[in-house]
Structure 1
Amino acid sequence: MKKVLFFIIITIATLSCKQKPKEVTHEHTNALIHETSPYLLQHAHNPVNWEAWHPDVLERAKKEDKLLLISIGYAACHWCHVMEKECFEDAEVAEVMNKNFVNIKIDREERPDVDQIYMDAIQMISGQGGWPLNIVALPDGRPFWGATYVPKDNWIKSLEQLAELYKKDKPRVTQYAADLANGLHAINLVENDKDSDLYSLDQLDVAIQNWTQYFDTFLGGHKRAPKFMMPNNWDFLLHYATAVDKPEIMEFVDTTLTRMAYGGVYDHVGGGFSRYAVDTKWHVPHFEKMLYDNGQLTSLYAKAYAATKNELYKNVVEETINFVQEEFLDRSGGFYSSLDADSLDENAELVEGAYYVWTKKELSGLLGDDFELFQEYFNINSYGYWEEENYVLIRDKSDEEVADKFNITIPELKTTITESLAKLKGEREKRPKPRLDDKILTSWNGLMLKGLVDAYRYLGEEDYLNLALKNAEFIEREMIKSDGSLYRNHKEGKSTINGFLEDYATVIDAYFSLYEATFDEKWLDLAKNLLEYSKKHFWDETSGMFFYTSDEDQSLIRRTIEVDDNVISSSNSIMAINLYKFHKLYPEESYGNMSEQMLKNVQKDFDRRAQGFANWLHLVLFQNQDFYEIAILGEDYKNLGQQISKEYVPNSILVGSQKEGNLELLKNRGNPNKTLVYVCIEGACKLPVTKVEEALKQL
């Protein structure tokens, strides 16, 4: 899109900024005081007249012919806090904003539908994006200017110029906004490709080969900094490596998962993963901890444990679930959203990572005689050094290497390290904790529920199933409405926002998995009901894809169609896999055709950028290789189901019942005298067997 003269270039500041703790003051109170989002409530006492995103607010802006200033962030966002301190708490800034704009604050985690559109806009305007995301738009919501973090003086100057421009040259501003809106529509178009053949295994091999040029085979992940965990990337490559016997890919996946678990992005003291690493060796994280990362990584490491029996992966699963239980579990059974990167240091200043880092002096004093071993194990040296005398714990050696160096046994090493970490945890709990975002989001809970089910499935720990059931019941009780639709958000008994496709897709996936783990058809029925609701209210016949927003919600600049797999897999890719699996149980429905068409619509992009469509690529393997329906009937169906579940067989689904059930796979196959296992492909079954080993041989 051609640039216009009035576009104001803002240089995003990169200087770090220490933030003093915010004093509680009620000198100012704005409309955000009525919201439940912790991020919005953080701004409820700004002198800026903030309002939440709501149709009434937009209508008022149109009537008053007043520009919208839309500022988007989230509770764990470091630079969001910095800009609030420097700008939004400042009376001079507030005067300019209140005079010239209708000011709207948005929690991007509550309203990803709005965030998606304006993030696309700023990337079209400036070529880059991030949060805080600040957009100036016409009263009808069409954007024409944007920036991320902006220092106070530049912010005031920019806003004054924009307001003046709108008064003096409204047609020019309106034309630019119209051009930008057209561009936002154009980049979101998906062609309904009915003519192409399905992507082949040979094509997939070439796409993965192209992808390998980005592999960091020494440190894992991609050759770049910062490094994001990208669970769907390694989840697919684990599937691919085992499905087509690619030991070199499996070695890369193993390297990546090991290095991530060794790195500072993993909290060795308290369990769980931070958001990403700012360096190439997974060392120094951006210290915020998100539920969606930890839910997906729980699934990934559980699957990797099933495939490799690597005890490190099992430990990661156990410790991550412990962290989630301790920090994120609400008494209702729902899970909170995140922990902030910032916390108060010894000088009562908000500093990123203050809760998690250690000085050598602290460690030596706490650990005494065990410090020498701990120092070697976690690199309290130049390799593990961060800044300002602080160390971030990071491993780069196996237990065997360290034990050999100290001439001790592996059990002795583990005992010492476990006791040392327990001491550090006790000491750390005396520190001020990072701020908690205690809103509950449906899709993130869906991801965590799936993680718990996978952990139960592959590790066999009953507590994980109990925790999963408690969460599943919370979603059923609090997030599913009487009309079968979903809420997006929940806090203190209150839900206010309709669910998006991401919410439906992840909960359907999690409930389907919960059915496979329990054989309780209640969860399958709930999943199918949500799938049918999605078909009715999100499906777009023209594109052959699902919209991100329901047809019952307010129309924005566009109805987004989300297809790229990012840190969270795209809602359409999750839904396409859901449809594929439901087709195996309900072949008379249209699910299979819908899933296949969705895959055809996006497959043209796989050659160029396979890693951006990693979750979709599971479907390529499903479509090109045998996919098994495993049906178990008889008295011992649960026991046999649990045994089969422990095996890593991603190209399968599992159904079971004591007696012949409602599902087609469970009809006319029972035997009153024995428990039978059927291995089927598209409903055609091999001869039944009575032992797990025999069934696995048929796969």
Structure 2
Amino acid sequence: MPNQLQYETSPYLLQHANNPVDWYPWGEEALNRARDEDKPIIVSIGYSACHWCHVMERESFEKEVVARVMNENFICIKVDREERPDVDAIYMDAVQAMGVQGGWPLNVFLMPDAKPFYGVTYLPPQNWVNLLGNISDAFAEHRDDLARSAEGFATELNLSDAERYGLKEADPLFAPETLDGFYRKVAVKADDEKGGMRRAPKFPMPSIWRFLLRYYAVSGNEGALRQTTLTLDRMALGGIYDQLGGGFARYSTDGEWFAPHFEKMLYDNGQLLTLYAEAYSLTKKPLYKHIVYQTIAFAQRELLSPEGGFYSALDADSEGVEGKFYTFTPAELRETLGTDYSWFADLYTSTDDGNWEHGRSILHRTETDDAFAERMGWSMADLNVRLDAAHIRLMRLRDERVRPGLDDKILCSWNGLMLKGMATAYRVFGEPEFLTLALRLAFFLLRNMRDARNGRLWHTYKNGRARQAGFLDDYAAVIDGLLALYQATFTESWLQEADQLTQYVLTNFVDGNQTDGADDLLYFTDKNGEELIARRKELFDNVIPSSNSMMAENLYTLSLLLDRPAYADRSDRMLGRVQPLVQQNADYLTNWAALFALRTKPTAEVAIVGPDADRFRAELDAAFYPNKVLCGTTGRSELPLLHQRGPVDDQTTVYVCYNRACQLPVTSIDAVWGLLHQVQ
């Protein structure tokens, strides 16, 4: 018989709905049952594209003998970490406080009051059964000891950030020397041979390279640019990138960007669209343009819902084998490519025995198109014709295979990252299809993932149903995407929507307890949401930037576009509080560091008025100049930067201002660049 997960919408929870384990979703029913029956709780946290989550299910949770032990002695709760990042964050923090290396599947043991006392990640079935027995015995015979331990971890979780990290209110120091220090913290850990950071596995970590691009814009440090382009080149040519179909996998298991963990996540690809588009605007590398166009084609083909939102992820596995969908045997390559096999295998480093496991090959490159064409004595046009023909044939073969599983829930925050990526790609390349996708996505989010009754966002959506009160990262990412969309279109409603969501955040996510180290950093959860054993603030930038760092930049951008000094003041207070932490651990707070880079020099406030406002905007966006905000109109506008400003001599006119001091209006793009470069 199906368990209680059968009523959920999460693909990950539904995968476990027919387990013999009597799983419950996180909620009052399960927590009340634990209290009523006085049983310890197992909270097992994972996500749909998690390879080892599937393995543990197959080895343990599908087995009657294991399920019997779990059901008799515990209340068992399954959590999709992507649906409930608040629950995941609390118990991940707890497990790490226990000295356990975090990861997923995350299995945490709780007292009946939901306070944690022990946790592990993946365990083989016999080890898992042995642990269950030990925990059950300890709960019966040493309950007081477990309760004291759980109380200690709960106290640790409820420490304020001021206590945990020694953060104090302070004025931020926006100075080149400060920025140089941040850069050195990152550079010393960067891999200057293979790109990325000097460790394996290698994750894309877009916020690191975004910081280095902004640091380069301020400092002109060629080392920062060289490290960034090395990383972007190696990722784009590596096995972490789907060389046939486009899109990035979550990480490379090795230090070479060669063998990915094959799942594809929306949050990676949304951020990498922004990163590669920005990098192209600086370097004009054709490879980066190819990555943006092909990744958008992948997302449109494989992740786009009929309603305009984007699904969450594709699994690593198909037919129970990791990477089977994406890799090829030498025989398959020979049969499909015929006389083109030799040069194709050379380019993609495939050997006659396969370059990976089980005699299969991952398509992986070490040469750019132009370098390979030169070595072969071909023109670029000739190579492109050959590549297109080979890719079409291999894609046709691949499309006949069993596809990886699709996690078809739609997450608000990840779609906000994709909205920013699409809008940025449009701003850089001017491709109308990119704008169409961005507009559809924005309409979808505001129509389907916002509660019309109170203006709050929902976190997740599936099958026409939105649920779970939004978290701070939902607001931060959507606001960021809307601000990019406004600057791409000059449609003021997007700016107004961003401001309304910001006002909701400043009402419902602030720290209002002024007697206990309250600060201007924002809680991850809505004050109207479910009360958990701790209410945390997200500070550290990881594979996704922290929600506080994103909101600090949103507040700064809105302060300029809407003339809201209070927003800038709050952003500065947030920066001042975290600055000592960034100085110590800049490689884990690079999105904060990127905002420090913007604040080191005055931000250009660029107002464009006149019939050619969009053309002027496109020419300004085509070049890399991150420290600016754009607003514009073809007519009249009441926005502060546009109010009472009009064309000069009926020509489209640009007003460039810094710190509320404006330069003389100009009527040519060259003149605008002259004003911008004076300050840069």
TM beyond 0.5? yes
How far does residue 540 in structure 1 lie from its aligned partner after superposition? Answer: 1.3
Is residue 299–residue 455 contact of structure 1 (8 Å, CA) maintained in 2?
A: yes
Aligned partners of 2:165 and 2:581 also within 8 Å: no
For 1:679, the aligned partner's letter is V
Measure the CA separation in 2 of the matches of 1:588 and 1:209: 34
Distance 1:119 1:619 in 2: 28
661, 668, 672: which is aligned to 1:691? Answer: 668
Q: Write the deviation string for residues 632-677 of structure 1: whole angstroms up to 9, x where unpaired.
A: 1122222222222222211111001123312111112213722210
Find 1:373's aligned residue among 330, 343, 352: 343
1:511 maps to 2:482: yes
Structure 1 residues 503-546: Cα deviation after superposition (integer angstroms, max 9, x where no partner): 00000000011000011111111110000000000011512110
| Amino acid of the structure 1 residue aligned with 2:194 | L
TM-score, length basis structure 2: 0.96
CA distance in 1, matches of 2:267, 2:149: 37
Match of 2:473 among 502, 510, 513: 502
**1:28-47 pair list within 5 angstroms:** 28-47=1-20
Q: CA–CA distance in 2 between the matches of 1:334 and 1:261?
A: 26
1:16 aligned residue: none
Name which of 269, 287, 293 aligns with 2:268.
293
The residue number in structure 2 matching 1:10 is: none
Unaligned runs of 5+ in 2: 513-517
Structure 2 match to 1:4: none
Are positions 1:445 and 2:415 aligned together?
yes
Higher mean displacement: 63-72 or 224-233: 63-72
Over 3 Å counting, the alpha-carbon distance change for 1:199 and 1:68 in structure 2 is farther
Query: Is the counterpart of residue 653 in structure 1 residue 629 in structure 2?
Result: yes
What amino acid maps onto 2:457 in structure 1? L
3-state DSSP class of the match of 1:127? Answer: coil
The aligned counterpart of 2:653 is 676
Partner residue of 1:334? 309
Give the counterpart letter for 1:497 in structure 2.
Q
CA drift of 1:48 comes to 0.9
- Within 5 Å, give how 1:73-472 maps onto structure 2: 73-186=46-159, 188=161, 189=164, 193-344=168-319, 350-381=320-351, 385-472=355-442
Q: In 2, are the aligned partners of 1:190 and 1:543 still within 8 Å (CA)?
A: no
The whole-number CA distance in structure 2 between the counterparts of 1:260 and 1:384 is 21
3-state DSSP class of the match of 1:649?
Answer: coil
Preserved contact between residue 211 and residue 597 of structure 2 (Cα < 8 Å): no
Per-residue deviation, 1:249: 1.4
**TM-score, normalized by length of structure 1?**
0.93
For residues 552-567 of structure 1, what are the structure 2 equivalents within 5 Å? 552-567=528-543
Distance 1:383 1:398 in 2: 24
Question: Contact between 1:375 and 1:381, CA under 8 Å: does it hold in 2?
Answer: yes
2:213 aligns to what SS in structure 1?
helix
- Asked if the contact 1:193/1:597 (under 8 Å) is kept, the reply is no
Identity %: 44
For 1:57, the equivalent position in structure 2 comes to 30
Aligned to 2:515: none
| 1:588 positional shift | 4.0
- Contact conserved, 2:171 with 2:572, CA < 8 A, in 1? no
What secondary structure, in the 3-state scheme, does the structure 2 residue paired with 1:306 have? helix
Per the alignment, in what secondary structure is the counterpart of residue 457 of structure 2?
Answer: coil
Task: Look up the SS of the partner of 1:391 in the other structure.
Answer: coil
CA deviation profile, 1:123-148 (whole Å, cap 9, x unmatched): 12133011000011011211001111
Change over 3 Å in CA distance of 1:588–1:333 after alignment to 2: closer
Task: Report the secondary structure of 1:632's partner residue.
Answer: strand
What SS class does the counterpart of residue 66 from structure 1 fall into?
Answer: coil
Count of aligned residue pairs for this structure pair: 667
Distance 1:429 1:481 in 2: 39
Question: Shift in Å at residue 191 of structure 1?
Answer: 5.3
What are the Cα deviations for residues 373-406 of structure 1, in whole angstroms up to 9, with x where unaligned? 1112111139971122111111112223322332
Moved more, 469-478 or 243-252: 243-252
Cα deviation, residue 554, structure 1: 1.7
> Contact (CA 8 Å) 1:446, 1:507: kept in 2 or not?
yes
Match of 1:547 in 2: 523
What SS is found at the alignment partner of 1:496? strand
Q: What secondary structure is seen at the aligned counterpart in 1 of 2:98? A: helix
Q: Which moved more, 1:668-677 or 1:535-544?
A: 668-677
Q: Per the alignment, in what secondary structure is the counterpart of residue 423 of structure 2? A: helix
In structure 2, which of residues 500, 508, 526 is the aligned counterpart of residue 529 of structure 1? Answer: 500
Aligned to 1:578: 554
Q: Distance in 2 between matches of 1:147 and 1:241?
A: 42
Distance 1:666 1:193 in 2: 38
Give the CA deviation at 1:197: 4.5
3-state DSSP of counterpart to 1:71? strand
2:37 and 2:295 map into 1 onto residues whose CA distance is 51
Conservation of the 8 A alpha-carbon contact between 2:172 and 2:577: no
Structure 1: distance between partners of 2:99 and 2:59:
23
Structure 1, 239-248 or 227-236: larger mean CA deviation:
239-248
2:569 is aligned to 593
Give the letter aligned to residue 307 of structure 2. Answer: S
User: What CA deviation, in whole Å up to 9, does each residue of 1:27-78 have, x standing for no partner?
Assistant: x211110000000000001111111111232123222222111000000001
Q: In the TM superposition, what is the alpha-carbon distance from 1:282 to its structure 2 partner?
A: 0.2
Name the amino acid aligned to 2:587.
Answer: Q
Deviation at 1:589?
A: 4.5
Range 280-289 or range 126-135, more displaced: 126-135
CA–CA separation in structure 2 for the residues paired with 1:375 and 1:391: 10
The DSSP-based 3-state class of the residue aligned with 2:632 is strand
Q: Which residue number in structure 2 is paired with residue 639 of structure 1?
A: 615
Give the aligned residue type for 1:512: L
Equivalent residue for 1:490?
461
Is the 1:232–1:615 contact (alpha carbons within 8 Å) kept by the matching residues of 2?
yes
Are the counterparts in 2 of residues 283 and 384 from structure 1 also a CA contact under 8 Å? Answer: no
Are the aligned partners of 2:167 and 2:578 in contact in 1 as well (CA < 8 Å)?
no
Aligned partner of 1:619 among 595, 599, 617: 595
- Structure 2: distance between partners of 1:210 and 1:519: 38
Instruction: In structure 2, give the amino acid aligned to 1:222.
Output: M
Deviation at 1:187, TM superposition (A): 7.3
Query: How far apart are the structure 2 equivalents of 1:378 and 1:330?
Result: 32
User: How far does residue 201 in structure 1 lie from its aligned partner after superposition?
Assistant: 1.8
How many Å apart are 1:194 and its aligned residue?
A: 2.6
Q: Within 1, Cα distance between the matches of 2:593 and 2:159?
A: 25
* Matched position secondary structure for 2:656: strand
- With 597-606 and 179-188 compared, the bigger mean Cα shift is at 179-188
Q: 1:231 to 1:360 in 2, by over 3 A?
A: same
More off after superposition, 372-381 vs 101-110: 372-381
The Cα of 1:196 is off from its aligned counterpart by 4.6
Across the aligned residues of Structure 1 and Structure 2, the Cα RMSD in angstroms comes to: 1.5
Contact 2:561 2:629 in 1 (8 A): no
Question: 1: CA distance between counterparts of 2:287 and 2:637?
Answer: 40
Equivalent AA in structure 2 for residue 95 of structure 1: R
- Partner secondary structure for residue 387 of structure 2: helix
Shift in Å, 1:107? 0.2
| 2:388 aligned partner, one-letter code | T
